[in-house]
Amino acid sequence: MIATRTESFAKYLAGILILVSLIFMPAEKCQGYVIPANQLIAFMAKNFSKFQTLVIIQSTQQKDENDETGDESFMERIWMESPDRLRSQVTDHPMGRVKEPDMSYRQVLMANTAQRLAQILSRMGVNLHSVALTRIDGVIAYRIGDKESEQPKILVEKDRFLPLLLVYKASRPSVLETITVQFKDYKKMEEGWYPFEIIYTDGKAFKEIYTIHTLKANVPIDPALFVMPKREFAPEQVSEPEEVPAEEERLRDIIKKFEEKYQ
């Protein structure tokens, strides 16, 4: 009788251990069927297919560990038009931005064909041949790209196919920077889901947190907004030689001749 109870308890304990191990096992270890990258990208593109234009008003909190002046906060207005037109403007800070972030990640949140979205990710360095399941902040997601932390990748929520994290390489003058972008606080709009909080990290020291206050989709945008004005320089002012009055010139000649005569 005692042996039977012991065996039952052992089986019960083993079952509990198996259940716990399955719960806490990394998602990569229990993948099952993983959707191919091209299908994931198509599902993700569909989520943003109705965002042809966007006008966003957001607050920006800027943190720079290398800047001793402290954090900066300001309001920004952003205009976007699919596929790749973008303009941003600081609205309440006379000095504007001290440092311009790389904005190419915002293309992922606009209307794209699946093919074009795949091209965008590929240009960012994302390995489209590497797909696996993972977790981020307790949420199961598909990872397209390499596993290493600083390698380009995009994490896509498993249930809604929404991007949660994007890591990519951005080319700047004389430097190749690693950009990490987190997409949070998705809200359902008539046109689809959109993240109302975005955390942008440039390297390890520079960070910006964007909180969207208003978002208008598919409103007309003047194309002139996307034309960067050329810097106009005033023509160099060449100083003209001062005109010497004729009478003054005549007197100088007389004095000169007089001096030469009596020297």
> Could you list the residue range(s) of the whole structural domain that residue 131 is in?
25-215
Domain count, the chain: 1
Indicate whether 226 belongs to any domain.
no
Q: Is residue 205 part of a domain?
A: yes
Structure tokens at 156: 């896509």
In-domain check, residue 232: no
What's the CATH number where 59 sits? 2.50.20
8 Å CB contact between 185 and 191: no
Q: What is the pLDDT of residues 55-93, one digit of tens each?
A: 999 999 988 877 766 788 999 999 999 989 999 999 987
pLDDT band at 243; cut points 50, 70, 90: very low
SS3 (DSSP) at 58: strand
3-state DSSP call for residue 154? strand
What are the residues whose beta carbons fall under 8 Å from the beta carbon of 102, sequence distance 6 or more? Answer: 170, 172, 177, 179, 202
In a domain, 261, yes or no: no
- The predicted-structure confidence for 11-51, as pLDDT tens digits, reads as follows 555 555 444 444 444 544 445 578 999 999 999 999 999 99
Q: How many CB atoms lie within 10 A of CB 73?
A: 12
Q: Is residue 74 part of a domain?
A: yes
Q: Is 260 inside a domain boundary? A: no
Q: Give the angle 206-183-150 at the CA atoms, nearest 5°.
A: 55
In a domain, 130, yes or no: yes
121 close to 149: Cβ distance less than 8 angstroms: no
Residue 4 lies in a domain: no
